[in-house]
C-alpha cells in the first residue's frame, strides 16, 4: 500500500516531504510490529534494546552512559528501563569498588534466557523486511546512512 493510501493524503509539498513522512510512518509501523511481538514476553522494545546491548557486551558490564549511547532511541529514560529490567530479574546493578559513583550493569542468566526465548519466536519485523531483496536492503541502508551523514 502506498503512503498516500495509508495516511489518506493525496498530495505532499514535495517528494522530499513525502519521503520524510514515509520514513516516519514506516518507522512507527515497524515499531508497532516489534512491540506486539515483545508484549507476550512482558517487555517493551526499549527494554529489549537494553537487553540486547547488555548481551552484546556480556560478560563485560556496562555503565549507564555506555548503554544510553548505544540505544536506538536516545531519548528513552535508560535509568528507568534498567530499573524495570532489574525488578524483573533480567539485569543486575553493581556499585564499582574503585569508584562508588559508578554503577556497572550486566545481564543476568534470566535476561539471557528471555532473549533466547525471543530469538526462537518468528520475527515479524524481519518477515516484513524480507519483502526486500538483498540489493534493496543494501540500497535502503545506503540511503538511510546518507540521510544521517
Q: Is 105 in a helix, a strand, or coil?
A: strand
Other CB atoms within 10 A of residue 28 CB? 10
Domain ranges of the chain: 11-40, 43-121
pLDDT score of 147: 93
pLDDT score of 125: 74
Helix (H) or strand (E) holding 15, with range, is helix 15-39
pLDDT score of 12: 93
Q: What is the pTM for the complete model shown?
A: 0.87
pLDDT score of 126: 80
Q: What are the per-10-residue average pLDDT scores of the chain (149 residues)?
A: 88 92 93 92 95 96 92 87 96 80 91 93 78 93 94
Q: Is the separation of the CB atoms in 53 and 111 below 8 Å?
A: no
Retrieve residue 74's grid coordinates. 536516545
| Angle, in degrees to the nearest 10, between helices 45-57 and 109-120 | 110
pLDDT score of 31: 92
Kindly report the CATH number that applies to the domain delimited by 43-121: 1.10.10.10
Amino acid at each position: 500500500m502506498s503512503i498516500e493510501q495509508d495516511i489518506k493524503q493525496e498530495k505532499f509539498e514535495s517528494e522530499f516531504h513525502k519521503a520524510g513522512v514515509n520514513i516516519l510512518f514506516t518507522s512507527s509501523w515497524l515499531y508497532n510490529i516489534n512491540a506486539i511481538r515483545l508484549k507476550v514476553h512482558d517487555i517493551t522494545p526499549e527494554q529489549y534494546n537494553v537487553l540486547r546491548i547488555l548481551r552484546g557486551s556480556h560478560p563485560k558490564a556496562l555503565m549507564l552512559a555506555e548503554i544510553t549511547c548505544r540505544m536506538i532511541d536516545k531519548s528513552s529514560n535508560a535509568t528507568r528501563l534498567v530499573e524495570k529490567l532489574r525488578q524483573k530479574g533480567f539485569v543486575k546493578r553493581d556499585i564499582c569498588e574503585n569508584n562508588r559513583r559508578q554503577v556497572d550493569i550486566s545481564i543476568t542468566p534470566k535476561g539471557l534466557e528471555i532473549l533466547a526465548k525471543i530469538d526462537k519466536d518468528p520475527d515479524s519485523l524481519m518477515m516484513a523486511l524480507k519483502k526486500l531483496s538483498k540489493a534493496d536492503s543494501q540500497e535502503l541502508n545506503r540511503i538511510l546512512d546518507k540521510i544521517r551523514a
